[in-house]
């Protein structure tokens, strides 16, 4: 098991370096002179020169990359070109809002998706199964920005149950924190819930037909134990896989959701940075998100090993 | 007085008794009969073979006796009794308490019949804990004991291993250990040796026989292989197209078969040191929804005459515990097995 974790960790480090090269190359891909692009078309030559040396654009590319990477590894992603604020503090300030949103969205997706998929998978072809699969298809098909607007119109503007925009930190007021994030979490979590329900259904329906499930029944293991122990355990590998993908996907989806609901999180920070061509912020953000995705993937791999003993030795 | 009578009755009751068992596949127009009225009894310490081609309904009969067919959307009719308990009326928790405790089953593919996610010992211990009020420790010890009984070498170590590290033969022994861990009265072995190497097959058959002696179980061996039947069974029931077509003592059926289909099966057994080609039975088993009048074997039967196609023959008693479903059985003379199987 430890052996497997070390190997996956090694792979993660390699992927991190490859991504860092791509992220760094981002600035080289900007058409024309990045310094001009950053400074704006009307900037004078002194200003462009200042930006050029601030970005270290006079050094050879390898040196530029090395300096940038070693700084990044110590948590220094440079400063925002727009506000001058350090990128890392910009990220850490906004992290709690995004983390809260992610945790609620993932919880919603799991709490709604797994039981629905389980019930549907145990009775394939039943009314519940067919109803759930129609709902899941709708959940996957509905664009999140549209869903967000409908939710706001109905639950905020008509019923007034939830605020339409804004984020309250948990430490300030947990109830308002929860109220403010409910609609964003539904927006962000619905597609994930639908996907998890589909995967759970497929996994459970497939596992239920396996011979070892029959063995358990034939030896008198009662149904709730067969489902809870034998079926769910083996069906959870595709569920965990899709959960890992969903977390990565939700990080991307948070860009839209945070912007619509006026949450000052990582996602809306990214939108700002891109529209203002704030390259250090974009670079820092991509690297930051990469690390989170790599950690999630590592956790997924480790849980494979915990679920399936064959993976441990593989 | 009455206590003595009851005790006598209990002794006389067969361990497993199946009466007019039918398995039906519900269909919009008419239900399709996959098993068409099968009846047999097995006494404690006795071994019955259920033989037939693929599609004869022999495995389905076994599953039905365990109450395992309803989960696949099939319907069960008729009665199944384990000693004095009618299990075909039971469902849910009450059926679960009988299964594994009084009647167990082992399956054809040991490699996929154990749960890959759990240690071998814990799967057996789970069965023990489901049926007996024991501590985890006692259940684990009992699981090791069952593995030892099933001939697994070094059971303490094997119990802690995961199924994928065991060979096919060891997996089947672990399956047997699980099935006998609560000392059931009836054990159904569905093609339990088919997926194994020939040498391992013989060992597993020896093991089943030995366990049967030791535990006094009634054993039902489902197989397509007359060699297995000759090796281990006391009585045999030959199935064709969802029905028993001949039943009797193993030696009688092997050497004096009364049904042309039984003869066909015997001729189809490959034998060592014989250069002659194995003779198959022409044609195939009719599909269960085929509308046939008369004997269901008639289209493939070399002895069939017009009278065979008029009405479906009943199972006729032809001796003590011998039955055949063929109206011409007294007219035809079948050679039986041509050499020791």
Average pLDDT of span B64-88 = 87
- B250 within some domain: yes
What does the pLDDT read at residue B9? Answer: 52
Structure letter (DSSP) for residue A184: H
Closest CA to A285 of A272, A300, A296: A272
Q: How confident is the model at residue A172 (pLDDT cuts 50, 70, 90)?
A: confident
What does the pLDDT read at residue B2? Answer: 47
Verify whether the Cβ–Cβ distance B96 to A220 is below 8 Å.
yes
Residue with tokens 């609560």: B182
Q: How confident is the model at residue A69 (pLDDT cuts 50, 70, 90)?
A: confident
- Give DSSP secondary structure letters for B145-176: HHHHHTT-SSHHHHHTS-GGGS-HHHHHHHHH
Verify whether the Cβ–Cβ distance B104 to A307 is below 8 Å.
no
What CATH superfamily is the domain A96-275?
MetI-like (1.10.3720.10)
- B7 within some domain: no
Going B256 to B258 to B264 to B269, the CA torsion angle's sign is negative
Q: Each residue of A250-261: pLDDT tens digit? A: 888 888 899 898
Window B:147-176, CB contacts with A under 8 Å:
162, 164, 175
What does the pLDDT read at residue B174? Answer: 94
B52 touches A at CB < 8 Å: no
B66 touches A at CB < 8 Å: yes
* CA trace torsion A208, A122, A246, B116 (10° rounding): -20
Question: B165, B183, B201: which is the final residue of a domain?
Answer: B183
- B97 within some domain: yes
Q: Which domain holds residue B164?
A: 109-183
A221 touches B at CB < 8 Å: yes
Domain total in chain B: 2
Verify whether the Cβ–Cβ distance B99 to A217 is below 8 Å.
yes
A211 touches B at CB < 8 Å: yes
Query: The tokens of A239 are what?
Result: 């569920």
What does the pLDDT read at residue A216? Answer: 93
Q: B134 Cβ partners below 8 Å, 6+ apart?
A: B128, B142
On whether both B282 and B221 belong to a single domain, the answer is yes
Window B:242-301, CB contacts with A under 8 Å:
none
Question: B183, B199, B232: which is the final residue of a domain?
Answer: B183
A:B CB pairs within 8 Å: 81
What does the pLDDT read at residue A30? Answer: 66
Domain boundaries, chain A: 96-275
What does the pLDDT read at residue B6? Answer: 53
- B262 within some domain: yes
Verify whether the Cβ–Cβ distance A307 to B117 is below 8 Å.
yes
What does the pLDDT read at residue B271? Answer: 66
Highest mean pLDDT among A28-37, A109-118, A249-258, A300-309: A109-118
How far A149 CA lies from chain B's nearest CA (Å)? 45
E runs forming strands in B162-257: 186-190, 218-223, 235-240, 243-249
On whether both B85 and B201 belong to a single domain, the answer is yes
Question: B130, B151, B183: which is the final residue of a domain?
Answer: B183
First to last CA, chain A: 9
On whether both B65 and B205 belong to a single domain, the answer is yes
Q: Which helix (H) or strand (E) holds B323?
A: strand B322-324
What does the pLDDT read at residue B276? Answer: 59
A218 touches B at CB < 8 Å: yes
On whether both B228 and B98 belong to a single domain, the answer is yes
Q: Each residue of A26-53: pLDDT tens digit? A: 777 766 666 776 677 777 888 888 877 7
How far A289 CA lies from chain B's nearest CA (Å)? 33
CA pair distance A29, A34, nearest whole angstrom: 9
On whether both B259 and B339 belong to a single domain, the answer is yes
Q: Closest partner residue to A220 among B71, B98, B112, by Cβ?
A: B98
More confident residue, B168 or A56: B168
Would you say residue B177 has pLDDT above 80? Answer: yes
On whether both B118 and B257 belong to a single domain, the answer is no
- B94 within some domain: yes
Would you say residue B20 has pLDDT above 90? Answer: yes
A216: chain B residues, CB-CB within 8 Å? 115
B116 touches A at CB < 8 Å: yes
Q: Each residue of B91-126: pLDDT tens digit? A: 778 888 989 899 999 998 888 999 999 999 999 999
Would you say residue B47 has pLDDT above 50? Answer: yes
How far A223 CA lies from chain B's nearest CA (Å)? 8
CA pair distance A200, A193, nearest whole angstrom: 10
Q: Each residue of B193-238: pLDDT tens digit? A: 888 888 888 889 999 999 999 999 999 999 998 888 998 999 999 9
B339 touches A at CB < 8 Å: no
- Mean pLDDT across chain A, nearest whole number? 87
- Mean pLDDT across chain B, nearest whole number? 87
CA atoms within 13 A on the CB side of B198: 2
Going B183 to B185 to B188 to B194, the CA torsion angle's sign is positive
On whether both B117 and B211 belong to a single domain, the answer is no
Average pLDDT of span A183-194 = 92
What does the pLDDT read at residue B341? Answer: 44
On whether both B229 and B284 belong to a single domain, the answer is yes
The answer to which of A61-70, A147-156, B32-41 has the lowest mean pLDDT is A61-70
Highest mean pLDDT among A28-37, A182-191, A278-287: A182-191
Average pLDDT of span B164-176 = 91
Closest CA to B101 of B141, B69, B134, B128: B128
B177: chain A residues, CB-CB within 8 Å? none
Average pLDDT of span A123-152 = 91
Whichever domain contains B29, its CATH number is 3.40.50.300
B101: chain A residues, CB-CB within 8 Å? 220
Query: How far is CA B269 from each of CA B124, B199, B228, rounded to the nearest angstrom?
Result: 36, 18, 11
Would you say residue B1 has pLDDT above 80? Answer: no
Verify whether the Cβ–Cβ distance B96 to A215 is below 8 Å.
no
Task: Kindly state the percentage of chain B with pLDDT values over 90.
Answer: 46
What does the pLDDT read at residue A107? Answer: 94
On whether both B262 and B216 belong to a single domain, the answer is yes
What are A204-209's contacts with CB under 8 Å, separation 24+? A204/A117, A204/A118, A204/A120, A204/A121, A204/A122, A204/A231, A204/A232, A204/A235, A205/A120, A205/A121, A205/A122, A205/A124, A206/A235, A207/A231, A207/A234, A207/A235, A208/A121, A208/A122
- B114 within some domain: yes
On whether both B211 and B228 belong to a single domain, the answer is yes
Task: Kindly state the percentage of chain B with pLDDT values over 70.
Answer: 93
On whether both B261 and B341 belong to a single domain, the answer is yes
On whether both B247 and B341 belong to a single domain, the answer is yes
CA pair distance B298, B278, nearest whole angstrom: 22
């Amino acid at each position: 098991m430890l052996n497997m974790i070390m190997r996956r960790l090694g792979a993660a480090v390699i992927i991190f370096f490859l991504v860092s090269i791509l992220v760094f190359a981002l600035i080289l891909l900007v058409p024309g002179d990045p310094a001009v692009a950053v400074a704006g078309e009307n900037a004078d030559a002194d200003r462009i020169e200042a930006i050029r040396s601030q970005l270290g654009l006079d050094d050879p590319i390898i040196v530029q990359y090395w300096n940038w990477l070693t700084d990044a590894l110590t948590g220094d992603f440079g400063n925002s070109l727009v506000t001058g604020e350090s990128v890392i503090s910009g990220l850490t300030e906004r992290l709690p809002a995004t983390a809260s949103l992610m945790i609620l969205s993932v919880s919603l997706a799991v709490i709604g998706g797994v039981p629905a998929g389980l019930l549907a998978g145990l009775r394939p072809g039943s009314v519940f199964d067919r109803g759930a699969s129609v709902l899941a298809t709708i959940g996957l098909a509905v664009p999140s920005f549209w869903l967000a607007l409908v939710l706001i119109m109905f639950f905020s503007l008509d019923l007034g149950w939830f605020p339409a925009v804004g984020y309250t930190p948990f430490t300030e007021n947990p109830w308002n924190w929860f109220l403010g994030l409910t609609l964003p979490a539904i927006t962000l979590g619905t597609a994930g819930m639908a996907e998890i329900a589909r995967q759970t259904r497929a996994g459970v329906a497939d596992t239920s037909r396996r011979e070892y499930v029959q063995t358990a029944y034939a030896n008198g293991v009662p149904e709730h134990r067969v489902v809870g122990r034998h079926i769910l355990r083996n069906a959870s590998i595709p569920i965990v896989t899709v959960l890992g993908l969903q977390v990565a996907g939700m990080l991307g989806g948070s860009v839209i959701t945070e912007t619509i609901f006026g949450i000052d999180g990582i996602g809306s920070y990214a939108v700002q940075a891109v529209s203002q061509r704030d390259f250090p912020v974009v670079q820092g953000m991509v690297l930051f998100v990469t690390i989170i995705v790599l950690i999630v993937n590592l956790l997924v791999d480790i849980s494979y090993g915990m679920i399936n003993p064959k993976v441990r030795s593989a | 007085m009455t206590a003595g009578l009851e005790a006598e009755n209990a002794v006389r009751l067969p361990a497993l008794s199946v009466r007019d068992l039918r398995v039906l596949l519900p269909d919009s127009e008419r239900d399709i009969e996959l098993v068409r009225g099968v009846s047999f009894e097995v006494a404690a310490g006795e071994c019955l073979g259920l033989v037939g081609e693929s599609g004869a309904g022999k495995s389905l009969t076994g599953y039905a006796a365990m109450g395992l067919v309803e989960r696949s959307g099939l319907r069960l009719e008729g009665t199944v009794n384990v000693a004095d308990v009618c299990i075909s009326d039971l469902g849910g928790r009450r059926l679960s308490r009988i299964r594994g405790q009084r009647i167990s089953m082992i399956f054809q593919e040991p490699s996929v019949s154990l749960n890959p996610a759990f240690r071998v010992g814990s799967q057996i211990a789970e069965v023990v804990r489901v049926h007996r009020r024991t501590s985890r420790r006692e259940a684990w010890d009992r699981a090791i004991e069952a593995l030892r009984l099933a001939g697994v070498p070094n059971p303490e170590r094997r119990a802690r291993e995961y199924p994928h590290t065991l060979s096919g033969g060891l997996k089947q022994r672990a399956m047997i250990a699980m099935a006998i861990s609560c000392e059931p009265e009836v054990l159904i072995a569905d093609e339990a040796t088919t997926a194994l190497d020939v040498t391992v097959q013989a060992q597993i058959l020896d093991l089943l026989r030995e366990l049967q002696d030791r535990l006094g179980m009634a054993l039902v061996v489902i197989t397509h292989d007359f060699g297995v039947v000759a090796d281990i069974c006391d009585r045999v029931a030959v199935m064709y197209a969802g029905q028993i077509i001949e039943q009797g003592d193993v030696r009688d059926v092997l050497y004096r078969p009364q049904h042309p289909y039984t003869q066909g099966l015997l001729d189809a057994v490959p034998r060592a040191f014989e250069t002659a080609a194995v003779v198959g039975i022409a044609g195939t088993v009719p599909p269960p929804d085929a509308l046939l009048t008369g004997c269901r074997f008639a289209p493939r039967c070399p002895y069939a005459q017009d009278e065979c196609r008029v009405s479906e023959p009943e199972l006729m008693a032809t001796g003590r515990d011998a039955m055949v479903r063929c109206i011409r059985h007294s007219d035809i003379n079948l050679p039986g097995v041509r050499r020791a199987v």
